[in-house]
Every structure is written in structure tokens, then in C-alpha cells.
Amino acid sequence: MPEGDTIFRTARTLHRALGGQAVARFETQLSGLAVVDRRSAIAGRIVEQVGARGKHLLITFSGGLVLRTHMRMHGSWHIYRPGERWRAPARDARIVIGTAAWVAVAFAVNDAELLTADELILHPRLSSLGPDLLSTDPDLDDARARIRSSGSRHIAEALLAQRAVAGLGNVYKSEILFMAGLHPFTAVSDVPDETLNALLHRGRDLLRLNVAETSISATRTGARRTTGSLNPEASLWVYGRTGKPCRKCGSTIASQNETDGRRTYWCPACQPAHRRPIPGRG
């Protein structure tokens, strides 16, 4: 699933291409969007803003309509010049927004809806989001309190709870836990406030570093870097490195599947378990 930095960069790219432009073409395979479009046509409206809120991408049109999309596991937005060949099959195109200069296409994006301004404010998924680590001034004290009350089984699960803190995903979860030397299956109640603060600050800083346009921490394709190395083969500490040696101590990186299908990675030596890990499925 794309993480907060991916959504942020996507929104920035879409805004630069579409912002201030009139919509000349709007097509969709999604019945819910098509119904709203027939009632209140998107074509002819101005794209006023494209932004990100956690893992949600919001395209604001003139006249008070907002397109909310969530990429889930496999969705993506592409930008093309009119007439340019698409890099994904047309059958996977769920939304097409065309202006005189650009065509934006959402591929495999099935979580989408058109909302009025009032509906956006009251939206249950958006209104329940925790502080967005890519916002200008996220309330990290609030995020810490939300993590404490999230009811998560362990700290790895808590960091992914978007109602506690928005923007972090599976890659950053594993990476910041490694950098803090904290075992991923530590109970939230066993994590001191200062450690939670450190995790949130590290997560915020890494997200910001990986969306900075002048940063060397992200490649042109947006590949994440947490180690500071310019070597693309050494960009991450533990994520995706099961069975490989730890970059710090040489121990073998471990991993475990979670109930949501995601996989958690850690170094058993650098992140010692003080309690028995919660069993997973792999």
C-alpha cells in the first residue's frame, strides 16, 4: 500500500499539472462517480487544488466538489500528455481527468467518491484520522495519546493505525522501530513516552526527507531511503531484507506476517525481545 510520502508526491505532481486548469474530459468506470457526474458534471469545472491527507488524495473542483481517492494496495495515478501512450492497460483505468495540457489517469483505484465540502468535513474516515506527519505542524502529543488508546496489540500495529497517526506505512514502521532499537511486538504499554516521541519525530523527519524535492534521500522514482546511503542496494535497514545480514551488527534479519497480510521486519540482535512476540502467520 502506498505510504504518506507517495500520496504527498502524487498530489504535488497532479496539482502542478492540473491546478488552475479547466476539466475538458471526465470519464470513470466507477458507478458512484458516474452518478454524481451525470447530476453535476465535472467537465467545465476548474481544478482548484490537489492535496493529500494521510493516505487519501483529494482533488478539489470549482463549485464545491472534491474527489477523494485511496490507492489501497495496487492503485496509482499517472500523468500523460494528450495522445501519449499509457503505461498501464486502459481496462484498469478507473478515472480519467483531462485538461488541454494533461491527462490524469487513476489505475486500479476503486476506493473513490465525489463529495461536497460539507460531506468532506463530516467524512468518517477523514475526520477520524490522527495527526498527519506530513502536515505543517502535526500534533505529536495528540498522536502519542492516540497510540496509547488505539487498542493495538503491539507497537508495530499501533504505528499503522491511521486513526492514531496518519501517513506511516509498513516500510517506515519497520525502519523507525529498527532505528529506535525497539522490538516490533513490544506491547504499547511497555513503550516509554520518550521512545514513542522519538518514533514519531523520526517518522515525521523521514517522511519529510523523502518528499523534499532537493533531498538525496529519494530517487527520481521516489524509492525511499532511510540509511542515508546513496547506494540503491543499501537504501533501507531491514524492510524487505529477510535472511540478509543486518547492516549494523551482521545478524540475520527476521520477519513475520501479520494478520492484515503485511510483513514486519526486524533485527533480533539490535531489537531484542523483552517479551515473547505475538504469534503471526509466517
Residues known to be catalytic: 2-3, 55
Sheet of 111-116: strands edge to edge?
A: 47-53, 56-61, 65-70, 111-116
Instruction: Give CA separation, 152 vs 157, 190, 199, 239, 282, in Å.
Output: 6, 12, 16, 21, 20
Beta bridge partners of 16: none
Are the C-beta atoms of residues 19 and 50 closer than 8 Å to each other?
yes
C-alpha cell belonging to residue 272 = 531484542
Instruction: Give CA separation, 149 vs 38, 143, 146, 279, 282, in Å.
Output: 43, 10, 5, 22, 28
Q: Which residues contact 82 (CB under 8 A, 6 or more apart)?
A: 98, 100, 101, 102, 103
Are the C-beta atoms of residues 229 and 223 closer than 8 Å to each other?
no
DSSP 274: S
Other CB atoms within a 10 A radius of the CB of residue 227 amount to 16
C-alpha cell belonging to residue 268 = 533480533
C-alpha cell belonging to residue 98 = 483531462
Of 71, 89, 83, whose CA–CA distance to 9 is shortest? 71
